[in-house]
């Protein structure tokens, strides 16, 4: 994004024009959207995670039945 100072333009109006142009272009919105986006995990990792959750859930239910928890 490039904004050149016009003849007789004050620095504040230049900054205002720059911010307005960046907002209209959607550059900031796109950057904020991409900032915290996580990569999708592989199919194998998702399956392993699901298996791990299932094992932990079964252990929890067994411990609850035994009165440990």
Are residues 33 and 45 located together in one domain of the fold?
no
Q: For the packed helices 11-25 and 27-35, what is the interaxial angle rounded to 10 degrees?
A: 60
Residue 10: which domain range?
1-37
Q: Which two tokens stand for residue 60?
A: 């929890």
pTM, rounded to two decimals: 0.48
pLDDT number for residue 56: 98
| pLDDT (0 to 100) of residue 54 | 98
- For residues 1 and 26, membership in a common domain is answered with yes
Q: Walk along the chain (69 residues) and give the pLDDT tens digit of each residue.
A: 788 999 999 999 999 999 999 999 998 889 888 888 888 889 999 999 999 999 999 999 999 999 998
- The C-alpha atoms of residue 68 and residue 63 are separated, in whole angstroms, by 5
Query: Is residue 3 within 8 Å of 27, Cβ to Cβ?
Result: no
Do 28 and 45 lie in a common domain?
no
Q: Would you state the pLDDT for residue 46?
A: 95
Nearest of 30, 19, 66, 37 to residue 1 by alpha carbon: 19
């Amino acid at each position: 994004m490039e904004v050149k100072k016009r003849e007789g333009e004050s620095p504040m109006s230049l900054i205002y024009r720059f911010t307005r142009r960046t907002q209209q272009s959607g550059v900031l919105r796109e950057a904020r959207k991409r900032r915290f986006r996580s990569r999708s995990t592989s199919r194998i990792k998702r399956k392993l995670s699901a298996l791990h959750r299932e094992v932990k859930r079964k252990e929890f239910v067994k411990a609850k039945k035994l009165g440990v928890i």
